[in-house]
Amino acid sequence: MSAANRGVIYMGAGHVEVQPIPFPELALGNRKCEHGVILKVITTNICGSDQHMVRGRTTAPSGMVLGHEITGEVVECGRDVEFIGVGDVVSVPFNIACGRCRNCKEGQTGICLNVNPARPGAAYGYVDMGGWVGGQTEYVMVPYADFNLLKFPDRDIAMDKIRDLTLLSDIFPTGFHGCATAGVGPGSTVYIAGAGPVGLAAAVSAQLLGAACVIVGDMNPQRLDQAKSFGCETLDLRQDTPMPDMLEPILGAREVDSAVDAVGFEARCHGHNHAHEQPATVLNACMDVTRAGGQIGIPGLYVTEDPGAESQEAQHGNLSMRLGQGWAKSHSFHTGQCPVMKYHRQLMQAILFDKVNIADAVNVEVISLDDAPRGYADFDGGVAKKFVIDPHGSVAA
């Protein structure tokens, strides 16, 4: 089939545009992609990782089609696709995975060995992630469809809950992964650094995992209010008060069992100097407030090259991390992309059976494709929302 197509294009630092782009083909280079499908995009979300690129904080080239959080309807299948059919509504993990390599077979789909010639791991519409076309579009091609796609069991129910289900492509599993790798469990106390969408998704995940107390730290009052709206304690990190002193009135203790870094490499100093970047601040703070023997999950993004960093060291991904502190406290650290397929089916079930209201927690706002540039600008301004693009008006209908 063939039709018109449009997408959100990164034009350079601080600038995105919606432009016509080619309609996707079932092709990889010069060969037919018989294991792929073409999707009519139902929803595609703006992610904090996209924002890093749009701010000019990566080596992303202008002209990239953005977007790695995709939910869609199958409109065309390759010859070798057996278990996904035209008309199915599916969630697309942001990690592209072949299902055949050693890492995929071990469940490490975030570091597939066959989908990115530069290094392990690939994603749609993201710098250094294999050159795959992004999904902030009207139509997109997804390879290895039988392996990658999560089919929703009922179309009508899926559309009714699409504001929640759209978050399965990335931030809900990513937040959950941060908590799971930090050892969050029943009765535990957990500190979540960052009240952006991933941090809020991590906070909801901690509650789903049975945490007794979830504490979210940020410098944005609006985002802290959003965390309070579903029962989190909060720390306003604009204060000069040491973090253990802020924890003590909440917990009766100065440390938590687990911590999750949902901020990443654009971290800023705590206290009155919070306008100044200090990329290792969150990592060091997590070590300060996590008990000896505790675990720290790091789903926040760290990059190998950051041309916009304030220091020359940070421009090459070298951070002043107090590893000796973590070593002395026998901390465990877990980094890297979330292997979405490890969690997305279980989290889908939690949504379908009304065990979690993730869209409300992250404050989803549905916008049109043409409104995407405004969504990027508002998100960059710190608004406490998760922008979900509705390219065809499917959600509005």
| pTM as predicted | 0.96
What is the reported pLDDT for 78? Answer: 98
- What percentage of residues in the chain have a pLDDT greater than 90? 87
Mean pLDDT confidence for 192-203: 97
What is the reported pLDDT for 230? Answer: 98
**Pick from 98-102, 267-271, 335-339: least confident:** 267-271
- Residue ranges of the chain assigned to CATH 3.90.180.10: 6-170+339-389
What is the reported pLDDT for 304? Answer: 80
| Residue indicated by tokens 């304030």 | 310
Cβ atoms 39, 140 nearer than 8 A = yes
Residue 156 scores a pLDDT above 70? yes
Residue 309 scores a pLDDT above 80? no
- Predicted confidence band of residue 211 (pLDDT cuts 50, 70, 90): very high
Residue 269 scores a pLDDT above 70? yes
Mean pLDDT confidence for 218-239: 97
| DSSP states of 112-131 | -SSS-SSSS--BBT-TTTT-
- Tell me the CATH architecture of domain 174-335: 3-Layer(aba) Sandwich (3.40)
What is the reported pLDDT for 368? Answer: 98
To 5 degrees, how large is the angle CA 154–CA 387–CA 376?
A: 145
Mean pLDDT confidence for 101-127: 97
pLDDT, tens digit, for every residue of 57-102?
888 999 999 999 999 999 999 999 999 999 999 999 999 999 999 9
What is the reported pLDDT for 323? Answer: 93
**Pick from 117-131, 206-220, 272-286: least confident:** 272-286
**Mean model confidence pLDDT for the chain:** 95
Residue 118 scores a pLDDT above 70? yes
- What percentage of residues in the chain have a pLDDT greater than 70? 99
Cβ atoms 364, 386 nearer than 8 A = yes
Query: In degrees rounded to 5, what are phi and psi of residue 199?
Result: -60, -40
Mean pLDDT confidence for 168-189: 98
Mean pLDDT confidence for 221-248: 97
Cα torsion through 52, 53, 59, 65, rounded to 10: 160
Residue 363 scores a pLDDT above 70? yes
The whole-angstrom separation of Cα 277 and Cα 268 is 4
- Residue ranges of the chain assigned to CATH 3.40.50.720: 174-335
What is the reported pLDDT for 1? Answer: 56
Mean pLDDT confidence for 279-299: 96
- Predicted confidence band of residue 2 (pLDDT cuts 50, 70, 90): low
Find out if CATH 3.90.180.10 is the number for domain 6-170+339-389. Answer: yes
What is the reported pLDDT for 273? Answer: 72
β-partners of residue 234 are: 216
Higher pLDDT, 269 or 34: 34
